[in-house]
Structure 1
Amino acid sequence: MTGEAESDAPGDGADDSGPHVRSLLGAYVLEALEPAEDRRVADHLAGCDACGAAYLEVADAPSLLALLAEDDLLAEDGPR
């Protein structure tokens, strides 16, 4: 742990407005970031336990999404 408090307060990594990158993690695991942003996230994850833990929560998303068939993604009733 880096000594940072775990909370929902601004600056805790809940968004990327501060030094943390949690809001970028979805795009990061899907490899959807620009190269410079990808490097920034990777560098940050190397030194931030809180964001690293958040990354581990979403890291398997691409492989889980690959298990779905197209029909699984379509609503049966259509848009509501």
Structure 2
Amino acid sequence: MTGDVTAELSFEAALKRLEEIVRKLESGEAPLDDAILLYEEGDRLKRQCEARLKDAQMRIEQIQFDREGQPSGTAPFGEG
């Protein structure tokens, strides 16, 4: 699997593939050359998933409340 194909995967598909890679590497059955390639693919998938999670977190909005407890607007996640 190339980096270009990896970048096109949905978050869920990337995470599933990453889990498959971890299982293969933990099993110890992959020859060294294959294990290196799997590790590199896994690293790309990990970075991709982290970037997508960070992007999603930045887009989540937090509801703000006024002194009476009524909704008064929104702010980016993590503020206030």
Alignment TM-score, normalising by the size of structure 1: 0.34
More helix by share: 2
More strand by share: 2
Alignment TM-score, normalising by the size of structure 2: 0.34
